[in-house]
Structure 1
Amino acid sequence: MSVLVVTGGSRGIGASVCELAARRGYDVVVNYSGEAEPASRVVESVRELGQKALAVRADVADEQQVSELFDAAGELGPLAGLVNNAAITGNTPGRLDEQSAATVRRVMEVNVGGVFLCCREAVRRLSSKYGGPGGAIVNISSTAARTGSAGEWVHYAASKAAVDTLTFGLAQEVAAEGVRVNAVAPGLIATGLHAAAGMPDRLQRLAPGIPMGRPGEPGEIAEAVLWLLSPAASFTAGAVLEVGGGR
């Protein structure tokens, strides 16, 4: 299967994607932008599963660092796919009129600009237009793109709506070139994001509004991602698969 690049692969959903990808036979590039130790742990987990792994620090909003990320992936082996998982909320929740321009700008740079840059690098390596073998891209969106995340992260929700549009448009551009582009839109998922934003009770507070009565687990999102990467989804392109417990 060769190499899968997972941005934001050191924690939460990204880490679960890396580990499940290894179980499915991928060698994995674990991208991270913060502390090295969590990424190193994911790399070790992948290697224990018998696959090659590499941790690469890169800010996905930085064009040069993204180029270097994909060059490093090429040293591990031929690229087979990309999972665009790296994203930020800006942390401080609140109404839109309480957010700083700097916060909103940074969210857009990472969540939209980062997806654009990584998709561009992946297409240049995967598309038959460039002599590539084909492959698959899965972008991580959010059900917030539909719900709006009012009172918390409207700017984050808007960035994920942009990811949905990018996914659909890019899928149309490259489907005939052997590259399938899709997205997974998680709902409320049990990761460290909520506590990091100063809302450690958010999961418990919002869970009653989910028809299934509970938050999702990162592994449940990883299963959807790996399905979209797999030959089982061979006729799926431009889709946004919601995994939100019915919410």
Structure 2
Amino acid sequence: MSLPADLPVFPDLSGKAVLITGASTGIGAAAAEAFAHSGARVAVHYNSSHDKAEAVAQAIRARGGTAVLVAGDVTQEGAPARITAEAVAALGGLDVLINNAGGLVKRVPIADYADPFINEVIDLNVRQVVHFMREGAAAMTAQGRGGAIINVSSVAARNGGGGGAVLYAAAKGFITTATRGWAKELAPAGIRVNAVSPGVIETPFHERYSTPEMLAAMKAGIPMNRLGLAADCAGAFLYLASAAASGYVTGQMLEVNGGQYMP
């Protein structure tokens, strides 16, 4: 993963304990390296991509940073609690939680919706995030020093998604709405809750689910005339995690989309 050469360092993140779900590739991997760049200690979560997660951890360690691996299928019962507990034990606490794990599953038109597909989309993009919110908030509240939780939404939550992606878009819409509610509920505990909403980012997500023709059409609607890179999202996570930079920011959606959507 190549981070921007001029990526700023946020000194108040140094030494912070950060758990990032789905951090073996794409946006999660970029976020992991970015936090380590600011001196944070990072728990790199992965499901089946052990080698890729290890490569992220090794890149962090090669720069003198601290990274630990935490494995698990976030959709399995009890997994969010176990993953959070393992990260807390390995890092000695939890200051920042990035709920990045999620996915489209596959593109399906409404006529072909089957219950297993519906359940898979909701389990992967809604249910597990709710569970991580509960576990992360409990860990931070017990510590008594506040913290930051950053969820990952999508531009799809704003426009309903592309062909066959309506349930995914709706799931991300849930994340957007719930982030605002959680921000209000957790503010008294000193926990800020925000979301990063990426646009069309060149990651394994689009390699798997979008054709070259679809990507070209998406690019044509982006004022900056390019698709995003995972590294383009890194600064947004650092800003929202840093109390020095965004201590009075909560319940917000930070759009990272090259101008594709302007609220």
Mapping 1:172-187, distance limit 5 Å: 172-187=184-199
Q: Does 1:236 align with 2:237?
A: no
1:119 aligned partner: 133
In the superposition, the TM-score normalised over structure 1's length comes to 0.94
Amino acid paired to 1:36: H
Post-superposition CA distance 1:8-48 (Å, at most 9, x none): 00000000000000001111111111121001101111111
1:246 aligned partner: 259
Query: Which stretch of structure 1 is more off in the superposition, 73-82 or 169-178?
Result: 73-82
The alpha-carbon deviation at position 223 of structure 1 amounts to 1.0
4+ residue segments displaced more than 6 Å? none
Query: Which stretch of structure 1 is more off in the superposition, 11-20 or 93-102?
Result: 93-102
Consecutive unaligned residues in structure 1, runs of 5 or more: none
Across the aligned residues of Structure 1 and Structure 2, the Cα RMSD in angstroms comes to 1.4
The alpha-carbon deviation at position 209 of structure 1 amounts to 1.0
CA contact (8 A) 2:126 2:175 kept: yes
CA contact (8 A) 2:43 2:69 kept: yes
Post-superposition CA distance 1:127-178 (Å, at most 9, x none): 2xx3431110000000100100142300000000000111001000011111
1:148 aligned partner: 160
CA contact (8 A) 1:190 1:203 kept: no
CA contact (8 A) 2:156 2:162 kept: no
Mapping 1:153-192, distance limit 5 Å: 153-192=165-204
In the superposition, the TM-score normalised over structure 2's length comes to 0.89
Amino acid paired to 2:175: V
The alpha-carbon deviation at position 202 of structure 1 amounts to 3.3
**Could you tell me how far apart the structure 2 residues matched to 1:228 and 1:105 are?**
31
Q: Give the secondary structure class of the aligned counterpart of 2:239.
A: helix
2:46 aligned partner: 32
**Could you tell me how far apart the structure 2 residues matched to 1:87 and 1:235 are?**
28
The alpha-carbon deviation at position 102 of structure 1 amounts to 1.3
Mapping 1:1-247, distance limit 5 Å: 1-74=15-88, 75-91=90-106, 93-127=107-141, 130-197=142-209, 199-231=211-243, 232-247=245-260
The alpha-carbon deviation at position 78 of structure 1 amounts to 1.6
Post-superposition CA distance 1:198-241 (Å, at most 9, x none): 62443223101111111111111111111100120100000011
Post-superposition CA distance 1:94-120 (Å, at most 9, x none): 422233321221111111111111111
Consecutive unaligned residues in structure 2, runs of 5 or more: 1-14
Give the total of aligned pairs.
244
